[in-house]
């Protein structure tokens, strides 16, 4: 999204998504936003379920946007044609766990939740 580490930045990513996959610019921006801010939200445990929902949509749509990868396993060694969708299934399983269980004991969600006020780590 920001062009770090050899990335194309917003305009380059929009162009690639439009040219190769036919995804319009507004949807590309939504996907980039969900990936960046969803990852930050999950890392901090802040608005975890909202962040997980955005990432869940991205992980469900990604294999279809890439014309359903032909293989199950990812192309770790570069010896097979195409890619696999195993990563997406793993990510979906982890995201569903966060949606069901929440962020966890060390999350910012737990720290700011009214039902857990006063029940910090020292109280356990």
Which percentage of the chain shows pLDDT scores above 70? Answer: 88
Q: Tokens representing 25?
A: 């610019």
CA angle in degrees (0–180, nearest 5) for 116-117-120: 80
Distance CA 8, CA 2 (A): 8
Decide if pLDDT at 119 tops 70: no
The sign of the torsion formed by the CA atoms of 35, 36, 37, 38 equals: positive
| pLDDT tens readout for residues 7-26 | 888 999 999 889 988 889 99
pLDDT of the residue at 43: 94
| pLDDT tens readout for residues 69-98 | 677 777 777 777 777 788 889 999 999 999
> How do the domains of the chain map onto residue ranges?
4-123
Decide if pLDDT at 118 tops 60: no
| pLDDT tens readout for residues 31-71 | 999 999 999 999 999 999 999 999 999 998 888 776 666 77
**CA 80 and chain centroid, separation:** 26
pLDDT of the residue at 68: 62
The DSSP line for 58-115 is HHHHHHHHTT--SBSS--SSS-SSS-BSHHHHHHHHHHHHHHHH-S-TTSHHHHH-GG
């Amino acid at each position: 999204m920001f062009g770090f580490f050899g990335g194309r930045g917003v305009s380059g990513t929009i162009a690639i998504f439009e040219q190769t996959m036919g995804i319009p610019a507004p949807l590309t921006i939504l996907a980039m936003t969900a990936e960046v801010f969803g990852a930050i939200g999950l890392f901090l445990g802040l608005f975890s379920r909202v962040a997980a929902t955005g990432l869940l949509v991205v992980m469900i749509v990604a294999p279809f946007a890439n014309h359903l990868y032909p293989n199950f396993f990812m192309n770790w060694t570069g010896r097979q044609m195409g890619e696999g969708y195993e990563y997406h299934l793993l990510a979906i399983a982890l995201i569903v766990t966060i949606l069901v269980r929440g962020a966890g004991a060390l999350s910012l969600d737990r720290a700011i939740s009214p039902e857990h006020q006063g029940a910090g780590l020292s109280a356990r």
